[in-house]
Each structure stands twice: as C-alpha cells, then as structure tokens.
Chains A and B, each alone.
Chain A
Amino acid sequence: MSGLGRILLVEDDPKDVELTLTALDEYKLANEVVMTGDGEEALDYLYCRGRFAARTKENPAVILLDLKLPKVDGLEVLQQIKSDEKLRLIPVVVLTSSREERDMVSSYQLGVNGYVVKPVDFHEFVNAIKELGVFWAIINEPPPGSMRKER
C-alpha cells in the first residue's frame, strides 16, 4: 500500500456522482477522483485530448464506468480501452444499474475487470463503492505507468 491510485469515474448522472463521491469520501478517497460525464469525455481524458490535453501522462489506477452514457456509451468506451495497447492494462470496473445478463456478458467478453450492480439500498451502495475504492485505489498494485500519490 504504497500510495493512492487515481480513480476515473465515468458517470453522467450528477446524483450518482455525488453519491459515489460521498461514499468514497468516507474513506478519504474522493480527492483523487477524476469525473467525466460521458464516454467521449472519458476517452478525451485517457488520450489527453480536449480539456485534458495538459494533464500528466499517467493512466488512472482504475476506471469506474457506467454503461448508459450519452454520446459514446460504456461498452464502446470499454471496447476502445481494451483494444488499445497503451490503455488495455488499466483495470476497468463497470458500475451500473443494469442487472441485464447481456450487458454483463458483453462486458466480460470485452475484458472488463469487474462488474458491479449499484444496489438500491444506500448502505449497500456505500459499502460497494467503498470496497471498490479501497481495493482498486489502495490494495491493488496497478500496472506500471499509473498515477499514484504517496499517502
């Protein structure tokens, strides 16, 4: 546990963003979260384009990806990431409302590292986010080239 990984949150719903940040904040993980509101923005971040052109080149330690997104949807983002030599090592966890089997199957076929259905119950939701954050941003050793901040 050498440091704190940066989390890229791809989520279009501001309420979900707020709730996710609230959950992460309980474990002081919220500061290292980059928020993008749709698939296009997420890809801009990953490729250092647009408003992220000036960012440091390290990859995030984990991407929390919603599936239903405006413009470029989550599965397309996932496909793009997993087919790019420079990005495919970044752990991606799908964080979605959908319990649909085909979403799950498609995600795993594309090489997703985790699939979490957002629980309706807030306690469960908080727990899920918290555990995700702790595992991917703290416990897990991310692939080389990832953004990591000393605690």
Chain B
Amino acid sequence: MSSRSVLPAPPDRVPIAPADAIPPRPATTLWDTSGRATALRYGLAGALVAIALALALVAERYVLAHLAFPLFLMGIAVAVWYGGGGPGALAIALSGMAFNYFFTEPRYSFYIHASDRPYFLFFVLFALMIGWFAARRRQVERELRLAHDELEVEVVKRTEQASLLDLTHDSIFVRGMDDDIITYWNHGAEELFGWTAGDAIGKSAHELLQTVLPMPLEEIHAELVHTGRWEGELGKTKADGAQIVVSSRWSLRRDKQDRPVAILTTNNDITERKHREERIRQLNADLERRSRELEASNKELEAFAYSTSHDLRAPLRHMAAYSELLQKHASSVLDEKSRRYVTTLLESAKRMGDLIDDLLAFSRIGRAEARKTLVSLGQLAGEVVSEVRRETEGRNIVWRVGALPDLYGDRSMLRLVLVNLIANAVKFTRTRAQAEIELGCAEGANGEVVVFVRDNGVGFDMKYVNKLFGVFQRLHRADAFEGTGIGLATVQRIVARHGGRVWAEGVVDGGAAFYFSAPKTTEDKK
C-alpha cells in the first residue's frame, strides 16, 4: 500500500461504480422466513429434542443416569441458535414434556410428583434462560452484521467521493478546526504543494505550508463560524521551498451536534496571475509616467511656441521698423550700395517674419484640437479657387474642378490643405503661357477616398519625392519660386491627423500631381 493509505485508495483500485453494485451478502439460510425454511427450522427443533431424548435414554440404560437434563438443554440451545425464537419455544415445550414423561417420577406419565415439581420447574426456567441467551446473542450478531454492512457501504461511498476529489485539479485538504491537523489531502494538493498525503496528513496545515494570512486567524475563524465560509488570498510555501500565492476557499464542517469540527480548504495557484497583474500594474504605472512626461514636454513645447510667437517677433519687428526709419531719414545721404543693404535688411526681416508665422501655424496644427464635422470638400475648393482667382487676375489659368467628396474633419484644417496645394499649383505654373490646374477625386483602396490637385507646371524630379513633405525642404531656388518650405509639411501633418496619407508624382518640366487620402465618410459619423 502506498503512502496514500488513509481514506482515499489509489484511483485505479477503486472502481467508480454506483453504490448499489455492492454485492449482496449471502443470506443466512436458516434465518430465512420463507415457508420452506420455517418448516425446516421447526423440524430441526423437533429433531434436536428427539436426538436429545434418544441419547438421554441410551445414556440412562448403558452409561450413567441424569444426563437427560444437560442433553435437553443442549438441544434447546442448538434449536434456538439455528432456528430462532419459535423453534426454540417448541424445543423447550417438547423437551419439558419428554423430560416429564421419561425422567421424572412417576415415569411414563405426564403427572409430576409434588417432590419433583421444583426440579421440573427449574429445568423449564433453565431452558428458557438458555433459549433467551441464544436468541439475544443471535440478535446482537445480526445487529453487528447490519452495522458492518452499513459501514462497508459508507466506506465504498466515501472512497468513491475521495477518488472523485482526487480527479479535480483543485487542491483540496481537510484539517481540524481547533488543532489544524490535516486529515485529508487530495491529489491536487499533492501536485500543488509537493507534499504527498502521507507527508501531510497528521501535520499542522499552517506549519507545513507556512501560511501567510491576510488578517488575523481569529477574524477568519469568526467569519467562518458565522457564515460557514471564507475566501481570500494566502501565501504558501511548497515542499521545494518555492513561495506561491493561492486563492483559498474555506468551508466549515460541523458535526451532528452542530459543533465546528473541520475546515475543508480549496486552493488554486494564482501566483502566475499575481505576477501578471503585478506586471500589468507596473506597465500601467510606466505608461502613466510616460504620459505625464509627454504631457510635460507638450506643455514645454507649447510654452516654447508661445514665447516664440511673442518674443521672437518683437526684435524682428524692431529690425524691420528701424531699417525702414533709417531708409526714410537717411536715404538722401546713403549711396546706392548702402540703400541696397537697408533694402536687404528689410527683406530678410520680412522673410523671417513669414518663417516664424508659418512655423507657428505648423506647430499649431499639432497642438490644436481638431473640431471635426462633415465638410463638403467641393464647396471648400470652390471658395479657395475663387479666392485664388481674384489674386491671380491677369494670369491665364484654366481651372478644372471635378466632383469632390464630403469628408469628416476639421474645416479650417482641410481648407489649409486645399489652400496650400492650390497655391503651389498656381505658383509652379507661373512660367506657363496657359496654366492648367485640375482638382478631382478617385476611389482609393481600403474604403478610402483619394483627392488630387494636378498642374502642368515645372514639376519636380521624382528622386527628390521623399524630400517634398519635410519641414523647410525646398526643391527650387528661392529666387525662382518664393516660399518657406513648410506648406507641404503642413498638408502632410493635417492629412495624417485625419487618418490619411499624402504622396506626389512629378516630371521635371512636365507638371506635378499631389494626392491625399482620407477615410470615407460613413453614415454613422453624419
């Protein structure tokens, strides 16, 4: 027998079978109450008395007298033992009659002489006593056997339950309420804690597992007694010394007098889960810290942009203003060269002013909150084109504005996209006798819509296409085409904020086309 010797037998040895499969005990044949058996039992009583009589008569004649008394008593005893009460009574009656007839004076008569009456009475009483003893003995034996049967059924039942408990992966053990001594230890507990049932049973659970309680044991016991159960997380130590965290459920077991006797403890290892939770908590804390850092750096950036807007512009304005004043007051005394210097000063100041404005506008796109509504790109393009037309009076520009989609986005930002793209088209077609600018849209992949602005201007070399959308990146010399190089960067930033992307195609001296994509407007956004 292995160490798992106490209540649970090894699963392979205990058939999981219904309780009624327990083989019935063989019937005690003579104790049967069927008609045939009854006749047999009474017959036996008669036969036993007859045998006792015969032996007594033989003994009286050949051996020695006075053996009749014990022989009849033996017959009665055997009749009661094997036949029971009824046959016993019959045996007593028959023996009494036979004893009276054959062995008491006057013999061969049922009359009892006065002097023999006490002797006969004594015989009958003794016979009754023997009969009673035998019957009682019989009764006790029967009860004992019944108790044994019940016990056996109970054992089988419990063994079965225990083996079922062994099947679960939960670790289950039972320990005394007062002494904390382990009385049951399932297979799951063995797997979880590394102690076999043999190691664990008989030991104090808290000592064996070095339980770390989240609150005083008295409080737990108080709750247990009050509600019958307790749940919590406990620290435990395994046989190999590893420390684990278990989710523990305690159920109180009471005896028939309702006294708390034992605690059934179910444990699940949640060490891994705890670790994961801890990792998640750490990651969250990390994320929170980073987001705070990001927020701080955003604030700094904002403060930087703000102070740029204020403080950088002021000296610039002064440079421009005083150069202007100098030009006005001293132009008469300045020679041609000096006047050009002053003009250059003025131009540079103006250009720097433009750069600062553009840069601030660009940074504002990243910082500003996008107020998204449904925007009709067609209407927006119409506005922008008619504005540009007024500014380009005198130039020969053919406008082809196709159907444009409605987009979900920030109106002023989307307007800035169109302004930049159209202004670029106007600028880079300046050298053309007849400029052609086309706006249109096409179906894109993945439910996107693509909008393009195409011109027949000076175009660009495709090997520089990657530089087009960078901040302050320019593909033309400043004296050929003015600009700060921030327009397309702004376009890209806005389009990215709207969940789209930008790209361009161009041929040197063969025109350019700029595309941007945007998610299609769905009904629910309207």
A71 located at the interface, meaning its Cβ lies under 8 Å from any Cβ of chain B in the complex: no
- Return the contact of B309 from the options A16, A98, A125 (Cβ within 8 A): A98
Q: With a CB–CB cut-off of 8 A, which chain A residues contact B309?
A: 97-100
- B350 sits at the interface (CB 8 A): yes
Interface residue? A6 (CB, 8 A): no
Q: Shortest beta-carbon distance, B364 to chain A, in Å?
A: 8
Q: Of A36-44, A75-83, A116-124, A140-148, which stretch is located at the interface? A: A116-124
| Nearest chain B CB to A130 CB, angstrom units | 14
CA distance A123 to B311 in the complex (A): 20
Contacts of B364 in A (CB 8 A): 101
| Closest A residue to B321 using CB positions | A122
B residues near A19, Cβ cutoff 8 Å: 317-318, 321
| A99 in contact with B360 (CB, 8 Å) | yes
Q: Which A positions have Cβ atoms within 8 angstroms of B? A: 13, 15-16, 19, 22, 67-68, 96-101, 118-123, 125
**How far, in whole Å, are A121 and B317 apart by their CA atoms in the complex?**
7
A-B contact pairs, 21 of them (CB 8 A): A13-B314, A19-B317, A19-B318, A67-B310, A68-B310, A68-B311, A97-B313, A99-B309, A100-B309, A100-B310, A101-B364, A101-B368, A120-B317, A120-B320, A120-B353, A122-B320, A122-B321, A122-B324, A122-B325, A125-B317, A125-B321
B313 contacts which chain A residues (CB < 8 A)? 97, 118, 120
A19 to B309, CA, bound (A): 19
Chain B residues with Cβ below 8 Å from A98 are 306, 309-310
Complex Cα–Cα for A101 and B306 (A): 10
1/0 contact string of B3-17 vs chain A (CB within 8 Å): 000000000000000
Any chain A CB within 8 A of the CB of B349?
yes
**Chain B residues positioned under 8 Å from A99 (CB to CB):** 309, 357, 360
Tell me the interface secondary structure of chain A in the complex: loop
Interface band, chain B: 20 to 34
B310 interface neighbour in A22, A97, A120, A122, Cβ under 8 Å = A97
Residue among B311, B318, B320, B368 making CB contact with A121, cutoff 8 Å? B320
Of B309, B317, B353, most A-chain CB atoms within 10 Å: B317
For the A-B complex, the count of residue pairs with Cβ-Cβ distances under 8 Å equals 54
Q: In the complex, how many angstroms separate the beta carbon of B108 from the nearest chain A beta carbon?
A: 143
Cβ of A8 to closest chain B Cβ, rounded Å:
20
Residues of B within 8 A of A125 (CB): 317, 321
Query: Quick one: closest A residue to B328, CB to CB?
Result: A122
**Given A99-B309, A99-B357, are A120 and B316 also a contact pair (CB < 8 Å)?**
yes
- The answer to whether A97 and B325 have CB atoms under 8 Å apart is no
Instruction: Give the shortest distance, in Å, between B326 (CB) and chain A (any CB).
Output: 11
Distance, CA A15 to CA B299, complexed state (A): 30
7 shortest A-B CB distances, which residue pairs?
A120-B353, A122-B324, A122-B321, A97-B313, A15-B318, A19-B321, A120-B317
A13 to B310 Cα, complex, angstroms: 12
Q: Give the complex CA separation of A114 and B455 in angstroms.
A: 42
Residues in chain A near residue B318, CB distance under 8 A: 15-16, 19
Chain A residues with Cβ below 8 Å from B325 are 22, 122
CA distance A98 to B364 in the complex (A): 13
A144 CB → nearest B CB, Å: 36
Residues of B contacting A121 with CB < 8 Å? 320, 350, 353
Scan residues 359-388 of chain B and give those whose CB is less than 8 A from a CB of chain A: 360, 364, 368
Residue numbers in B under 8 Å from A68 (CB-CB): 310-311
Residue of B nearest to A119 (CB): B317
> A122 to B328, alpha carbons, bound, how many Å?
12
CB of A37, distance to nearest CB on chain B (Å) = 15
Closest residue of B by beta carbon distance from A68: B310
Nearest CB in chain B: distance from A120 CB, A = 4
Please, how many angstroms separate the alpha-carbon atoms of A99 and B324 in the complex? 23
14 other A-B residue contacts (CB within 8 Å) besides A98-B310, A122-B325: A15-B322, A68-B310, A97-B309, A97-B313, A99-B309, A100-B306, A100-B309, A118-B313, A120-B320, A120-B353, A122-B317, A122-B324, A123-B324, A125-B317
Q: Which residues of B are found within 8 Å of A67, using beta-carbon distances?
A: 310
List of A residues within 8 angstroms of B321 by Cβ: 15, 19, 122, 125
Q: How far is the CA of A125 from the CA of B349 in the complex (A)?
A: 14
